[in-house]
Structures are given as structure tokens and as C-alpha cells.
Amino acid sequence: MAASPHMLSAPLRGLVVALGDLPDPVFAAEALGPGIALDPLDDALHAPCDGEVIQCARTRHAVTLRDAAGGEWLLHLGLDTVDLAGDGFSLLVAEGERVSAGTPLLRFDADRVARQARALLTPIVLTNAVDQRLELLVTPGQVVERGEPLLLCHGEAVAGTDSASATQAVSDAGSDAASNVDECTGECTDERTDEGAEARGEATVAAASGIHARPAARLRAIARRHDVALRLITADGREADAASVSALLNLGLVQGSRVTLVARGAQRQAALAAASALLGTEEASDVPKAPGAVSPAPDAAPSGNVSTAPETAPPVSGARQAVEGLLQGVSASAGIAIGPLRRYDPPLPRVAETATDPTAEHQALAKTLESVAATLEAARHSAETQGQQEEAEIFEAHLAWLEDPALRAAAERHINAGQSAGQGWYAALQAEVERLRQSESALLAARVDDLRDLQRRVMVVLATDDGAAEAAGDDLDGAILIAREMTPSQFVAVAGRIHPLCLAAGEATSHLAILARARGIPCVAGLGEALYALEAVQARLDAPRGVLERAPDAERLAAFVAERERRQAQARSAAEQAGAAVVTRDGRQVQIAANVGSAAEAQAAARAGADGVGLLRSEFLFLGRATAPTREAQRQEYAAALAALDGKPVIVRLLDIGADKQLDYLTLPAAPNPALGERGIRLWQAFPELFETQLDALLLAGNETPAAGAATPLHLMLPMVSDVGELRWVRQRLAARAAALGVDRLPALGVMIEVPSAALCAASLAREADFFSLGTNDLTQYALAMDREVAALAAHCDVLHPGVLRLIQATLEGARGRCPVGVCGAAAGDPLAAALLVAMGVDELSLEAAGIAGLKAWLRELDAAALAARVPELLALDDGAAVRAALAAWLDASATDAPA
């Protein structure tokens, strides 16, 4: 079929070099195909045409695009650059991604690469040419600008890639290009569109914890979302299907393990990109934050005999020490407590051991598994809608394990051998429990609790006695609960009645530890069997140090009790004044609002004394569903939230998905770094129906409550705004939808300042925005180039870093006299950061409802003007730790007590 000539533009600014003049025999001889080369004068390689990314070199130095006519263009940055193993290169796209001409494909450190490679000369080669003729539009020796026309491709539509001959030709020459072809057409095989074909890729496990239950569940979810069969193959030839969580765990993959990914199905390339990105990402939620990381607001502590105030001593190691009266374990969740010890050691439910009708038992097992799966899904959805993301991920991992075909097959084998459904399930999971217990990996051993949980959940349904659902006892209030081990579901059942928890087994990486941290319950794990030898006496738990002290003497007990009572008195006093306005000692009035995820949480915020809602995360309505919520369902939820605040402002963040928030019913573009990909406002133009349905629901809800002529208390906030053009586009769409609905009261429209460019362009944004809200979590990670989910970086990813503070200062200066500025990130709940932000000029702080009373009391004692005078010297310090130390010292000297 004849094809019209199509043009390629220059992918970077550079000097034109004829392919035959390259000091590489394979490229010079056009063994890979015809083309041209550029000697770069830029530090980024861009797409020369519209097309699809079909291959990316593992070492990030080369990308292959398929254009609209089927031509496959290899863009190879430098010569011999494969030997750099990715050093100096940053890949900006993923295989399967569609790009437009001019889209950045990769960035490179020109000086670093030039010092190590043979040359920076960059060939641009048509690798599947048959009868094509390339017409150069430039002259060798000429300098071309990026985007300038480079060549025209004439001739018949290209045929399929002759990868084998190209690889052989390059291999014979023994050059760098041989390595590249191996990278691009071997390891990342492109199999076109037939659904039965396979695609392969390589990945290295980056997470310090290796592959455990939650990443295994995510791999399984990737395979399902892209409708592919996904396998992992280790270097020694062992393999596992991603459909089986237990099989994945049996591979024993640890940090640094190299695996081959094999995907079969129509969306195999997208699945490979997503799986590779997952395996290549460190995971932070399995371990406690590093010392120095920002802690939750301390007044979010449970009431009673517990304090979760930040501690200065770092957690100790898990080695138990033989000290009289002390047991040493592992700090799993911070806090201090005192109380009597209470033991929790429920038996497994009793089930029939044998059965005479295997068919009936198979049916009973299938029905039970469906029932338990529905319960787990409901628990996952509930946790997600309440903003308890870590808890939701644990339930998701349990779901994946429950549906593991290998575990079910093992149970069915036991049933076929004459056992009952309950006994078969017990035996199948018990075998897996024993295997995990014998593992050399502490992380895999910690997954025993998860299997025990699933074992119990299914056996409870199949139990033959009424004691299946064990009682936790009636004497837990005020006690320190001790247990040999505890499953997540058992913990959730008693979490509202207990405060501290001590475990003989377990690790800081267990899911139970994650749940304890999420709920603010002090927890020490790994205390050993000696824990069970302790009598039911008064004890003191120092969770940050991992210490349980049995029967402290009178002096130590008195000091401990006095500190606890002082903090409780502070909390009571703060609660009594929670509804009052905040005015600092120097007369500054500050609004204290709440971050919420639902109408129910908005009601709780109103009861907690919130001056409004500073952030309603609207994505809670969209997550955990098979389809998008209807306009009416959204309207009802938004209206309920507005009614709960009774006329106080409610700021709703418009749908913010992408990165770590995915929707099952929406396929988002793959990205090598999702945090920098298409998310938030960047996605709305791609999904206009989803966006406009939300706008309609908000406009209708916002016009239900105001009296005639009054402004609506509804405010809309746009996430991930980079410049004022995005704000203008949304304002136009909002006005258009209001006109279509006949709505005349438009909500205030503001932007989140979470991208450095927005902070630096605050003055232009403030001319058109009604308000700003600083999203300090993302602003900090983007400003410092540190992923806030990477545990090793947590201590350094600090909002009080002078660089981040200067961006906040630029925002405040740009907004001055034009629009108010609030903060809805974690910094609002950090007492030190909150004080400094108010002194710098922030008008509103928005945090979780539990912290409102304490923060209000704290800020009433602040002399904001005096602290403002110290801001220049704080900004001149070296890093966040130095700012924290100096700020804490100043606040101590000014006699401002931190919230209890």
C-alpha cells in the first residue's frame, strides 16, 4: 500500500552527522537500517514524530518508536553507552505509551556520559526499512534546533521488523549496537497485536523487603487489569504465575533479585511496563519511619493510659536483653503506656475432621471462600473510604491469598483424601505456615499472621461449635494486651477496646504492626516466650525503645503517671476550647480546618471544632468500585458534607487519581515514574465525561444550601496545577456546566500548590485563583527529588528543608493581597511546621480531625510576629534537621508547650 511521505523532526538540538561518518561499523554500514545522526547540544531526547514507544533499553540509553506508517525508529543516545548500565540516563516514557512529536523520551547528563562513553553521537535509524527512501532536509555539519524538520521518509508502508537479521548483522560487527539490539529486540520483545504472543522484560527487585504479600497481590492485580498471563522467572530457572501469591512468595525474591517477566495477551507491553515499575520501586510502608521523620500530630493519641507523643530516643534493635524486670523487643508502633497485663490467646475454631461426601465438601469450601472474599472486599472498601489506605492494602493482599489457586488446589486434595472442607483448608494453610516459619527471610516469616488470619476466617464459617468467633474478654479496658501472635482481623476486632499491645512473635514489618501504627496504638513485637511467663501485674510499655518493664518501682511509676496525667490534662483543656477561634498571642487569627474523606468524617470534624473542611478528598467516592459513581450518588455525598459543616467553607479537591491511586474501571497511561506522570488535572481532558459528571454533582450540591443571594460555602480545589492555563481551562468548563444546569452560584475555585512551578508562578496564579492550598507532601518530594514513600529517605524528605520553605515563601509573596493561602498537607499537623507556617503568613491549616483541639491550643500560645522575625535566619540554615533544631530551641525558649 502506498504511503504518503512522512516527516521526522530533530529530537534534540545538535550538529548533523552523516550515518556513514560514525566511528561505529554497524551504524556506518547501515546494518540496522538507514538514518542520520546528531551530535547533541542538548540534555534531553524528544520524540521526532507521533507514535508508540515499542522498546526501551534496560540501560535507558535507547528508545524505539513506531510511527503511524509502521516505521520503527531507533534513537540511540551515544556510542558504547550500553556499557554505562544506565548511569547518567533517565528514561521518561514506558513501552506501550503513545507519544506526540516533541514529547521528552529520556534525559541524560551530557558531561557524565561524555566522560565515560566513546561519543555522544546519536544515530536515528529506521530499523524495519524495506523499500523506503529517506530524504534529508538538512546538511551534515549544520546545527539544527529541536523540532526542526530533519528528514522525509518516502516509499511503501514498512514491513514487520526483521529483528533476527538486524541482530545477526550487528553481532557480527561486535559493536555497541549489538548490545543495544539485544536490549531492545531481545529482552523487550515486541510481538505486535496477536493475543497469543509473548513479551518479555527484565526487572530487578528494588524493595528492601523483597517480594512479600502486598507487592505479590499488586502483581496479580496488574495481570488482571491488563488481562494477561504474567509469569516471573528467576535467574536459576524457577518460575511462578502471578495469579498465585504463594507461588510468588516461594520464589524468595529479595532486594537485588533479577527476574524475567513474561506476559501473554493483547496488553502485554503495558503489563510489563507496570510490573517492571512495581518491582523497581522501593516500598516504604512495611517499616517504621526513620528517626527524624515527620510524625502524626501527637494529640491524635488515643485517650486513657496511653501517650503517643513523639519520642527522642530512636527505636532499638530486636535483640532481647537479660535485664531484671525488662523484656526487649522490636518497636512496631510508637507510644508509652502503663497498665495491667492481659493475655489474649484464642483457639482455632473446631471443624469436622472427616467427611463422606467430597462433592458436598468442595461446594461448601467454594461457597465459604466466596463469602469470606465478600467480607474482605467490604473491609477493604470500608478502610479505603475512611482514608485508611495501609489497612485497605492489607485486606487486598488477604483477598489475593484467599483466591490463590495453589492454596485452593491443596485444600481440594485434602478433601479428595477424605477430609472435611474446614480440615482441608486448615491443612493446606498449615503447610504453608510451616514453610514460611522455616524461611530465612524475616519478612516472609512475618506473613504467618496473614495466613493464620485466612485460616481462621474460613474455619469460623465452617465451624461445628458456637465458640468459633472467639470473645476477646471483658477486662481489656486499660490493659496492656499480650499475645503470642495476633491476626489482622483479630486486631481490628479489639482495636477499639485496647491501647497498647505486646507480642511474643512478629516483626516491625508485619501487617499487624502496620495496622497498629495506622491506628496510633503502641506496639512492641518479638518479645519472646518470656512474655508469657509474666504475671498479670502492672507494667510499663516504652514502645519507641521496644521495652516492656514488669512491675516498675514506686518512684518510676509515679514519674510515669505524672507525665501521663500532665498530657491528659493538656488534652482535656484543649478539647474544651476546640470550638473557639484561634488568635495568636500577637493577634493573628488563623483558621483550623479538617482533612476528611467522607460526609461521615465531615460530621466528626464539625464535632471536633473544625472551622471548615480544608480538604475533602473526593477520590474516596471513586475508589473500590466496579464503575464510576453516578452524578446523583456524588451529589448526595457532597451535599451531606456541606450540611455537616452548617455554612462553614468546605473545600473539595477534584478527582485526583494516578500515581498510587488507580481506578479499576479506568486504564491510565503507563509511566516509568507515576508520581510525575498523567495524574490529577493532567488526566481530566482525557476523561471529560468523568470530570464533567463530577462538576455537575458539585454544582448541584453547592446550590442546595445557600439562602437566596448568599454565596455557596462550597469551594473547589484543583490538584497538580503547573500553570495558570490549566486553571483557566477548568474555570471555562465550570462556567459551561453551570450554564447547562441553570446554576447561577458558582463555587470559589482554587489551586493546590504542590508543584514547584506553581509556587514560583504564584503571582500569576493568584491573579485568577480564589485561594491557594499548599500540598506540602508532594511539594516537598518534588522540590527535593525524594520519593516520600522510600523509607531510607523519610528522614530527609522534610517540609522544613530551607529549599521547600523558600518555595512556600514564594507562594505567600505571590498571593499577598490577592488570595488567602492554606495548608492541607501533613505539615499542618506537625506542631513545629505549623508554628513556622503561621509565622510566615499562612491563613489556614487543615489536618485530621483528631488533631484540631491540640493544634488550636498550641497556636494560641504562639507569638507569630516574634517568630516571623526569625524566618530569614531559619531559611539560611543548611537542611531540615537544622531548621527543626533551631525552631524547637526558639519555641522552648519562648515557653510554648507542644500539644499533648
**Rounded Cα–Cα distance for residues 130 and 116 (Å):** 35
* Contact yes or no for 106/60 (Cβ under 8 A): yes
Give the helix/strand (H/E) hosting 383: helix 358-385
* Contact yes or no for 333/513 (Cβ under 8 A): yes
Provide DSSP, 532-545.
GGS-S-EEEEEGGG
Helix, strand, or coil (residue 309): coil
Instruction: Give the length of the chain.
Output: 900
Residue among 7, 130, 136 nearest 67 (CA) = 7
* Contact yes or no for 661/622 (Cβ under 8 A): no
**Rounded Cα–Cα distance for residues 456 and 463 (Å):** 10
Helix, strand, or coil (residue 740): helix
Residue among 682, 564, 711, 697 nearest 634 (CA) = 697
**For residue 847, what are the β-bridge partners?**
594
Pairing relation of β-strands 714-718 and 650-653?
parallel
Residue among 58, 67, 94 nearest 184 (CA) = 58
* Contact yes or no for 834/859 (Cβ under 8 A): yes
Query: Phi then psi for 549, rounded to 5 degrees?
Result: -105, 120
What is the 8-class DSSP label of residue 187? I
* Residue carrying C-alpha cell 491501647: 499
**For residue 617, what are the β-bridge partners?**
653
**Rounded Cα–Cα distance for residues 152 and 147 (Å):** 14
Helix, strand, or coil (residue 766): helix
* Contact yes or no for 847/822 (Cβ under 8 A): no
**Rounded Cα–Cα distance for residues 467 and 472 (Å):** 12
Active site residues: 511, 824
**Rounded Cα–Cα distance for residues 857 and 592 (Å):** 11
Pairing relation of β-strands 258-264 and 198-204?
antiparallel
Q: Residue 638 contacts by C-beta under 8 Å, 6 or more apart in sequence?
A: 616, 618, 652, 697, 698, 701, 702, 714
Helices 213-225/268-279 angle, 10° precision: 160
Longest dimension (CA), the chain: 94
Residue among 596, 628, 541 nearest 851 (CA) = 596
* Residue carrying C-alpha cell 504492626: 513
**Rounded Cα–Cα distance for residues 525 and 547 (Å):** 10
Ordered alpha helix ranges (H), 441-553: 442-445, 448-462, 488-494, 511-519
Distances (CA, A) of 400 to 227, 255, 369, 407: 16, 22, 12, 11
Cα first-last separation, the chain = 76
493: cell is: 476486632
465: cell is: 461449635
Query: Phi then psi for 850, rounded to 5 degrees?
Result: -65, -20
b/e code 64-94 from CB counts within 10 Å (16+ = b): bbbbebebbbbbbbbbbbbebeebbbebbbb
Provide DSSP, 40-108.
ESSSEEE-SSSEEEEEE-TTSSEEEEE-TTS-EEEEE-SBSGGGGTTTTEEE---TT-EE-TT-EEEEE
**Rounded Cα–Cα distance for residues 154 and 157 (Å):** 9
